[in-house]
């Protein structure tokens, strides 16, 4: 059985040699994530080159996801780690200071985004060290806020800070991000993940930057802020896909809400035909151990059953003990779970355009005639994704007109971006598609296929044709292509 849910793996010191990367692809990786919170452009360029080499050797398409940093809020430098106790006072300043213990139970520090301080209000919370230490604001001011520590913990320099109750309204794309996006555009990355998205305007700004850079990369919004959850519908509408980033999200909202938020986001993304990635701590124990916990295996399986397009590995593949083993375990879990997946959802979704209607009809027809696969001819990739929305247990072989479109489908559930064929007249295009698919081994004489395409050919959103390719018709198309 073909693995329908895709795997995204983060590259790092444990996995950035070409041999390991190739073994990971063979084990089930569909997309590699480049984390721009770490590494130089030279380092990422080296990994991109390795990915493209592996593509050529294995004759597969591997997506490249650039994950930019965004305005990560951090505590400033400290003279020494703070051993904070419940009830201690922490003064956070707008001015740049070195944090210090100024009296018993009294500490001072600053943050790297001082423009946030005027937005804070008495009674709101500050979460320090990625949520492990909580503090409540007891006095708010533009130059300094006073907070009372609510639980014991040790705070080190440059650790993450979250403001879960505060609408920050800050620019989410930094100057560093813009330089990184420029690099990514030059190198032809396929996806750009935007950190700390708050609303639809953030997504539009990111798309405009990429457009100015001449990039056609798909924009993925990372849902990790409370504001993003509140504005999820408008964010999904403007995004090419979303990522449920459960790490920061579990700090911004009560941890017990994360599972239901995950399911809600996946459901909404599925309905909108937007790929969705479920990320963070999926198999974290395998960063240090040979096997995953049963809870982690269940987490992956439940994400698959929720309908996620992809599951993501972070530390497990970047700095973990055995990245290949992690991918193998995740792949086996996905394939096993597919056996009980609730397929055939063509009656569950609203139709937003004619392509939705064609995709639903094609999916229903394919199930009725017991088609062995779809041949989805697509100019933008959207018709293949809309076919996938219906979640049939029928493989989708996507035939694109350019490589960026083909690579953009590496995240889409159940879609194999198999071929790239130039736009031409419909009858010639269909014949060429069948021949190329036959020569590549995707089409066989003893199978039945359902073709979807658009006329006129090559226009985005023009999918309006469904054609059945039966066993006894294959030779006709093969001969037509040779004529």
- Cross-strand partners of 221: 194, 242
Distance CA 430, CA 78 (A): 66
- Strand (E) or helix (H) holding 193: strand 191-194
Distance CA 381, CA 30 (A): 16
Other CB atoms closer than 10 Å to residue 351's CB: what's the count? 12
Q: Which one of 10, 108, 280, 452 is the catalytic residue?
A: 280
Phi-psi region of 124 (alpha: psi -120 to 50; beta: other; left: phi over 0): beta
Residues with Cβ < 8 Å from 82, sequence gap 6 or more?
90, 99, 101, 107, 109, 154, 155
Q: What sign for the dihedral angle of Cα 33, 36, 39, 43? A: positive
Q: Which one of 74, 146, 205, 467 is the catalytic residue?
A: 74
What values do phi and psi take at 148, rounded to 5?
-110, 125
Active site residue 33: yes
List, edge to edge, every strand of the sheet that includes 133-139: 100-103, 106-110, 89-93, 144-149, 133-139, 125-128, 161-162
- Listing DSSP states for 354-365 in one string gives HHHHHHHHHHHH
Q: Which one of 6, 23, 33, 246 is the catalytic residue?
A: 33
Active site residue 222: yes
- Strand (E) or helix (H) holding 478: helix 474-482
Q: Which one of 4, 50, 222, 246 is the catalytic residue?
A: 222
Q: What sign for the dihedral angle of Cα 199, 204, 209, 211? A: positive
Nearest one of 178, 218, 182 to 63, comparing CA atoms: 218
216: exposed, middle or buried (C-beta count within 10 Å: 0-12, 13-18, 19+)?
middle
CA angle 457, 275, 322 (to 5 degrees): 125
Active site residue 280: yes
Place of tokens 């089409």: 443
Name the residues annotated as catalytic: 33, 74, 222, 280
């Amino acid at each position: 059985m073909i693995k329908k849910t895709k795997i995204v793996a983060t590259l790092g010191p444990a996995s950035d040699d070409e041999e390991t990367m190739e073994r990971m692809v063979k084990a089930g990786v569909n997309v590699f994530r480049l984390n721009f919170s770490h590494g130089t452009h030279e380092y990422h360029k080296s990994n991109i080159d390795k990915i493209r080499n592996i593509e050529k050797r294995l004759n597969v398409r591997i997506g490249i996801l650039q994950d930019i940093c965004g305005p990560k809020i951090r505590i400033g430098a400290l003279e020494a780690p703070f051993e904070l106790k419940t009830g201690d006072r922490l003064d956070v300043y707008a001015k740049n200071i070195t944090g210090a213990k100024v009296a018993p139970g009294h500490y001072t520090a600053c943050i790297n985004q001082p423009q946030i301080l005027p937005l804070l209000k008495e009674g709101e919370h500050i979460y320090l060290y990625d949520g492990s230490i909580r503090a409540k604001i007891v006095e708010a001011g533009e130059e300094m806020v006073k907070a009372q520590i609510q639980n014991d913990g040790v705070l080190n320099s440059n650790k993450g800070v979250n403001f879960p109750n505060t609408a920050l309204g800050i620019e989410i794309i930094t100057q560093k991000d813009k330089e990184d996006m420029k690099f990514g555009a030059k190198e032809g990355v396929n996806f750009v993940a935007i950190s700390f998205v708050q609303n639809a305007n953030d997504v539009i700004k990111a798309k405009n930057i990429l457009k100015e850079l001449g990039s056609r990369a798909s924009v993925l919004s990372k849902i990790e802020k409370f504001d993003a959850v509140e504005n999820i519908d408008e964010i999904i509408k403007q995004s090419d896909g979303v990522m449920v980033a459960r790490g920061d999200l579990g700090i911004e909202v009560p941890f017990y809400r994360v599972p239901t938020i995950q399911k809600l986001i996946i459901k909404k993304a599925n309905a909108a035909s937007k790929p969705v990635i479920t990320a963070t701590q999926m198999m974290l124990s395998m960063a240090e151990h040979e096997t995953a916990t049963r809870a982690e295996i269940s987490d992956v399986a439940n994400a698959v059953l929720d309908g996620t397009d992809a599951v993501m590995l972070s530390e497990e593949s970047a700095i973990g003990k055995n990245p290949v083993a992690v991918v193998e375990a995740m792949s086996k879990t996905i394939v096993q779970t597919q056996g009980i997946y609730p397929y055939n959802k063509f009656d569950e979704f609203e139709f937003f355009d004619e392509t939705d209607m064609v995709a639903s009809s094609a999916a229903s027809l394919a199930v009725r005639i017991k088609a062995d696969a779809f041949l989805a001819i697509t100019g933008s990739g959207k018709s293949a994704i809309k076919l996938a929305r219906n979640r049939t247990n029928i493989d989708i072989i996507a035939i694109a007109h350019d490589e960026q479109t083909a690579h953009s489908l590496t995240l889409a559930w159940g879609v194999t971006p198999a071929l790239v064929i130039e736009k031409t007249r419909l009858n010639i295009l269909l014949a060429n598609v069948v021949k190329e698919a036959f020569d590549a081994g995707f089409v066989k004489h003893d199978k039945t296929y359902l073709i979807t395409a658009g006329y006129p050919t090559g226009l985005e959103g023009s999918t309006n044709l469904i054609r059945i390719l039966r066993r006894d018709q294959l030779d006709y198309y093969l001969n037509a292509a040779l004529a």
